[in-house]
């Protein structure tokens, strides 16, 4: 009981602070932000666990509906659970394929910067979201991640490029990305909606001052009265409908101008009275029972859904950012290939010109070589433009200034090369996909709203009761000295027959349609989860096969160029072989990129991906730098061919 009165006192002090001290409004907003953030963290811990894995509060009974592969819909009572259970089990160990079964090799891309470049510090999702909302997305990200240099405009220092790897990219995306902040704010707004609804179900104070002047003109008489009244009280909603309130009323009346009758009676020109009223209303049919708490139940469940949606978005967002990162690495590799090709064509052009001057080569071959050199230079310029455009789009997505120079450091996402078991992956996804769990719980929401709509068609049968204690009317200034003899009470029932319920019946019919639609949506989502897993497995298998073909194609192209070099064929054969080798390298890199993305997409679709609060991958996925000398057999052959190429050009 003391805790209840302490809560009432705190709320009263908040209201007084807000009204009397202007500076307290900022403190009140900070308190609300803190409450919303605490509510979000609580729901994240309940749904996802302390470290990103949920710890189910229920017993791990495999017969429970929560622990089935989500093929069944919960019971009607589950719809009234304000915190529906969430499955977010730790991903099981993924069996790796044996080394001889792996067909793809390490990327041929070398480092574009120092391997010890600065990594991103990451962002804690569990921090105060309210501070994020008010504070904006400012901050020197370049200084945190890898940028440097002074800001003195007169010195005009050379701006060093921001060297970032995949971990730094993910950290910057979490810290600065607009779409990430939008989704984070959506979660915060949902928490604020819950706080608003909870406030409506708590004790609510009110204090009303009223001042009025009343005049009664009559023939020969004219009364003028000033009345000042204050009504202070508190009201509280009841759990199953209705409301109870207690009100203290104080009234002061001053007769500014008295009539002759009033003056003759000898009554005073000033009076003060008081009264204390306790009243309650309780619905018996319409609006009674758990239907009265519909808004509160839905607000509580919406926050759970928002937590799930945000966590699902974080995983999808990081996969998407990683895909963009690998596309940039692929663009770097293609650009390097074009640059190397242009360099070798320049050497070949000089060599052909020298042979033509010595009379050992025709002018036609010189012109053909120069033409291919111009084509190579044009292709290099186009590749440079495409890479620059991709880099600018990437900066916009990360919310970095376009003028900020960045250097992408290649980092390999080491994911296990899994043995793909479709049945096991599908079963795990059906039990742990957060979006599917939300769709299932929305079926329960639709059923609950259907019952609420049915309740809304009932007659209004309300029980009301009130009692009022007043002060002694014979006293001119009674203060707040209540007189038991001047008290009264009333009890009654109000019945409003449902003569016009057409709008309610139409709403009930609408709720029936929405309930059926929710069931179909759940069935569709369940089928799509299965299709996503199957598609991801097929995508991995296709990427593996494509990579194996491109590896073979790369070996063939490198051997052909080697034969052309050994047999000292003409410039035209050399140009053709060089072009095929560059194309084979680019296609092999694209196939490797597709396999990496397919691996991440498989972990996402099968609900086996876990992302820490700072944006780092959680096992079974890790980050390691790409070794500069890490090449497959085809890569070694290409390297040997390029070395022989360069030595042959120098000899010539």
395-442 pLDDT, tens digit per residue, is: 999 999 998 888 888 876 666 666 678 888 899 899 999 999 999 999
Q: Is the pLDDT of residue 318 over 60?
A: yes
Instruction: Kindly report the number of other CB atoms within 10 A of residue 44's CB atom.
Output: 22
Shortest CA distance to 445 belongs to which of 570, 300, 340?
A: 300
Helices 571-605 and 633-651: angle between axes, nearest 10 degrees: 150
Q: Is the pLDDT of residue 6 over 80?
A: no
* Per-residue confidence band for 41, with pLDDT thresholds at 50, 70 and 90: confident
- Give pLDDT, residue 511: 94
Query: Which of 455-469, 526-540, 635-649 has the lowest average pLDDT?
Result: 635-649
Q: Is the pLDDT of residue 630 over 60?
A: no
Distance between CA atoms of 353 and 458, rounded to whole angstroms? Answer: 98
DSSP 8-state class, residue 77: G
* Per-residue confidence band for 491, with pLDDT thresholds at 50, 70 and 90: very high
Distance between CA atoms of 604 and 644, rounded to whole angstroms? Answer: 44
* Cβ pair 354, 131 in contact under 8 A: no
pLDDT per residue over 451-489, tens digit each? 999 999 999 999 999 999 888 777 777 677 777 777 889
pLDDT per residue over 71-122, tens digit each? 556 666 666 666 676 766 666 655 555 545 544 433 444 333 333 333 333 3
Query: How far, in Å, are 5, 387, 494, 638 from residue 342 at the CA level?
Result: 82, 17, 92, 17
Distance between CA atoms of 152 and 363, rounded to whole angstroms? Answer: 57
Q: Is the pLDDT of residue 26 over 70?
A: no
Q: Is the pLDDT of residue 632 over 50?
A: no
């Amino acid at each position: 009981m003391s805790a209840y009165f302490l809560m009432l006192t705190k709320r009263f002090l908040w209201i007084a602070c807000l009204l009397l001290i202007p500076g307290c409004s900022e403190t009140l907003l900070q308190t609300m932000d803190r409450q919303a953030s605490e509510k979000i963290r609580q729901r994240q811990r309940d749904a996802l666990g302390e470290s990103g894995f949920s710890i189910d509060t229920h017993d791990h009974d495999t017969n429970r509906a929560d622990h089935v592969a989500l093929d069944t819909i919960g019971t009607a009572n589950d719809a009234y659970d304000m915190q529906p259970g969430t499955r977010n089990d730790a991903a099981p160990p993924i069996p790796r394929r044996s080394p001889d079964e792996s067909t793809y090799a390490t990327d041929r891309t070398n480092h574009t910067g120092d391997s010890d470049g600065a990594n991103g510090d990451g962002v804690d999702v569990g921090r105060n979201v309210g501070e994020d909302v008010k504070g904006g997305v400012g901050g020197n990200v370049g200084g945190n991640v890898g940028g440097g240099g002074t800001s003195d405009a007169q010195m005009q220092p050379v701006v060093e490029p921001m060297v970032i790897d995949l971990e730094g990219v993910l950290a910057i995306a979490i810290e600065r990305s607009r779409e990430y902040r939008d989704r984070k704010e959506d979660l915060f707004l949902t928490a604020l909606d819950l706080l608003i609804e909870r406030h409506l179900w708590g004790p609510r104070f009110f204090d009303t001052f009223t001042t009025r002047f009343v005049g009664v003109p009559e023939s020969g008489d004219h009364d003028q009265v000033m009345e000042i009244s204050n009504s202070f009280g508190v009201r509280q909603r009841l759990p199953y409908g209705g409301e109870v309130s207690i009100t203290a009323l104080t009234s002061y009346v001053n007769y500014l101008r008295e009539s002759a009758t009033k003056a003759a009676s000898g009554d005073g020109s000033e009076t003060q009275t008081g009264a204390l009223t306790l009243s309650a209303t309780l619905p018996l049919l319409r609006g009674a029972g758990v239907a009265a708490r519909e808004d509160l139940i839905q607000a509580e469940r919406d926050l759970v859904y928002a937590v799930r949606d945000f966590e699902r978005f974080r995983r999808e967002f990081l996969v998407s950012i990683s895909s963009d990162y690998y596309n940039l690495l692929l663009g770097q590799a293609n650009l390097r290939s074009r640059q190397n090709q242009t360099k070798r064509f320049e050497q070949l052009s000089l060599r052909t010109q020298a042979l033509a001057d010595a009379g050992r080569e025709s002018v036609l071959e010189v012109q053909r070589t120069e033409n291919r050199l111009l084509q190579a230079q044009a292709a290099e310029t186009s590749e440079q433009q495409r890479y620059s455009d991709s880099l600018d789009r990437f900066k916009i997505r990360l919310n970095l200034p376009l003028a900020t120079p960045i250097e992408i450091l290649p980092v390999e996402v080491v994911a296990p090369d899994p043995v793909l078991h479709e049945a096991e992956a599908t079963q795990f996804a059906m039990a742990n996909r957060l979006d599917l769990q939300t769709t299932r719980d929305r079926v329960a929401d639709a059923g609950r709203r259907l019952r609420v709509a049915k309740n809304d068609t009932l007659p209004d049968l309300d029980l009301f009761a009130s009692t009022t204690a007043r002060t002694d009317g014979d006293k001119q200034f009674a203060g707040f000295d209540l007189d038991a003899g001047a008290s009264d009470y009333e009890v009654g029932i109000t019945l409003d027959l449902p003569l016009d319920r057409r709008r309610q019946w139409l709403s009930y019919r609408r709720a029936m349609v929405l309930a059926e639609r929710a069931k179909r949506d759940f069935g569709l989502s369940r089928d799509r989860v299965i299709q996503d897993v199957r598609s991801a497995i097929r995508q991995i298998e296709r990427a593996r096969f494509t990579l194996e073909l491109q590896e073979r194609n790369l070996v063939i192209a490198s051997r052909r160029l080697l034969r052309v070099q050994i047999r000292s064929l003409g410039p035209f054969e050399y140009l053709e072989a060089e072009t095929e080798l560059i194309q084979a390298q680019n296609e092999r890199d694209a196939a490797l990129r597709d396999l990496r993305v397919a691996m991440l997409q498989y972990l996402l679709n099968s609900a086996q991906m876990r992302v820490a609060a700072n944006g780092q991958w959680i096992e079974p996925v890790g980050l390691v730098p790409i070794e500069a000398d890490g090449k497959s057999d085809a890569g070694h052959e290409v390297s040997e061919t390029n070395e022989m190429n360069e030595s042959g050009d120098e000899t010539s």
